[in-house]
Each structure stands twice: as structure tokens, then as C-alpha cells.
């Protein structure tokens, strides 16, 4: 089963170019309700941008379905470990 958050992230990664993604992240940061949330969105957005840049270097782009499946697995792993590094 695909996580709804993973589906949204996959849509962002698949449907936005790098500049659009940067603008979206900037809006998240600007609209955050607190300093802690701004930092969280800044870090999260940086990881999404890094991932988008990595995909740009690949000879074959992953499909949205592949992105959704991989992101769902990553979210499950993060939840299982409590989001610790």
C-alpha cells in the first residue's frame, strides 16, 4: 500500500522541475508557523532537492510508481527507527 505522503512527494519530484521545487520549498519555509517547523521544512526540502538533482543525473528516470514505492518504504523505515539518524 502506498503512503499518501509518499504519493505527494513522488508527485512533487516527478511533476516539478528543479526551480519549481526550490520555489515550493521556499514557500513551505516562509509559511511555517514556527522556527522549529521552518528548520524542519528547510532540511526536508533540501533532501528533496538533493534527490531531484540525483535523478537528473540518471540515464533513465524512475517512474512515479517506483518513486511512490521507494518513498513509502523510506517513510516506513523512518517511522520504525523513530526518525533517528
Distance CA 24, CA 59 (A): 26
- The predicted pLDDT at position 74 comes to 85
**Is 76 part of any domain?**
yes
Q: Which residues of the chain have pLDDT under 70?
A: 83-85
Q: Structurally, how many domains does the chain consist of?
A: 1
How is residue 84 written as a grid cell?
533517528
Which pLDDT score is estimated for 20?
96
pLDDT in tens, 35-47: 999 998 999 899 8
What's the maximum distance between 2 C-alpha atoms anywhere in the chain?
A: 40
Domain membership of residue 40 as a residue range: 4-80
Does 52 reside within a domain? yes
Residue 26 is predicted with a pLDDT of 97
How high is the pLDDT of residue 83?
55
Whether residue 85 is contained in a domain is answered as no
- The owner of cell 518513498 is 71
Q: What pLDDT sits at residue 28? A: 93
Residue 59 lies in a domain: yes
Amino acid at each position: 500500500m502506498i503512503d499518501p505522503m509518499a504519493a505527494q512527494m513522488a508527485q512533487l519530484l516527478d511533476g516539478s522541475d528543479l526551480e519549481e521545487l526550490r520555489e515550493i520549498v521556499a514557500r513551505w519555509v516562509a509559511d511555517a508557523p514556527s522556527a522549529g517547523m521552518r528548520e524542519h521544512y528547510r532540511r526536508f526540502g533540501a533532501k528533496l532537492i538533493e534527490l531531484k538533482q540525483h535523478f537528473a543525473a540518471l540515464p533513465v528516470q524512475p517512474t512515479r510508481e517506483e518513486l511512490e514505492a521507494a518513498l513509502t518504504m523510506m517513510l516506513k523505515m523512518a517511522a520504525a527507527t523513530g526518525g533517528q539518524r
